[in-house]
Amino acid sequence: MRAIFLDRDGVICENRSDHVKSWAEFQFLPGVKDSLIALNQLGWPIVVVTNQAAIHRGIISADVVEEINQRMVAEIVASGGRIDRVIYCPHRPDEQCQCRKPQPGMLYQAAHDMGLDLARSYLIGDAASDILAGQRAGCQTCLVLTGRGREQLALLPDKMEGCFTVAPDLMKAVQWIIKFTL
């Protein structure tokens, strides 16, 4: 089965340099809820994969991250969209785990647990690490220019040019996927 993977901060909500530390700091980006409603027409699982190093940095607890994610999902569902699963990596970059993007561990975990075909799936993110994780897992990838997207585009190696799509925001990325698959 195909799936859509989404990064959270910078794709679904505003990216904060000091981390999203509470529900009060979580702000949906414009058009995100409508984008998720549009994704429903594909009928594929929608999975959020997000690095949350603030946990191992001692800035917030895993319980707070889980509460934020649960409230995010509830608000999306209330608006007519859906998120089928949220997977997060609590590790700092120096811990060099296999789940922290740019490693594909979260994607592999979702594929294993949900029976997903990564080669037929899509990942949408706003960072070079998102694109690299998606490509390492074999997904089609799209960099959105919201969040850190504009600055991150310059960090991707020139040899990757043409290997991923660039969209101004989540809605345009969703429209690209729908057009490409229907």
Q: Which domain holds residue 42?
A: 4-181
**Are 36 and 78 in contact, with CB atoms under 8 Å apart?**
no
11 DSSP assignment: T
pLDDT tens column, 57-68: 999 999 999 999
* 130 has catalytic annotation: no
pLDDT tens column, 81-93: 999 999 999 999 9
pLDDT at site 99: 96
Which residue among 7, 126, 130, 169 is the active-site one? 7
Q: Measured between alpha carbons, how far apart are the two ends of the chain, in Å?
A: 15
pLDDT tens column, 166-176: 999 999 999 99
How sure is the predictor about 158, in pLDDT bands with cuts at 50, 70 and 90? low
Q: Is the pTM of this model over 0.85?
A: yes
For helices 170-181 and 32-39, the axis angle rounded to 10 degrees is 10
Residue 163 pLDDT more than 90?
no
Exposed e or buried b per residue across 4-36, where buried means at least 16 C-beta atoms within 10 angstroms of its C-beta: bbbbbbbbbbebeeebbeeeeebeebeebbebb
pLDDT at site 134: 97
Which residue among 9, 126, 130, 169 is the active-site one? 9
Q: Based on the structure, what is the number of domains in the chain? A: 1
- No. of H helices and E strands in the chain? 6, 6
Cα–Cα distance for residue pair 94/24, rounded to 1 Å:
29
pLDDT at site 113: 98
* 9 has catalytic annotation: yes
The CATH number of whichever domain residue 158 belongs to comes to 3.40.50.1000
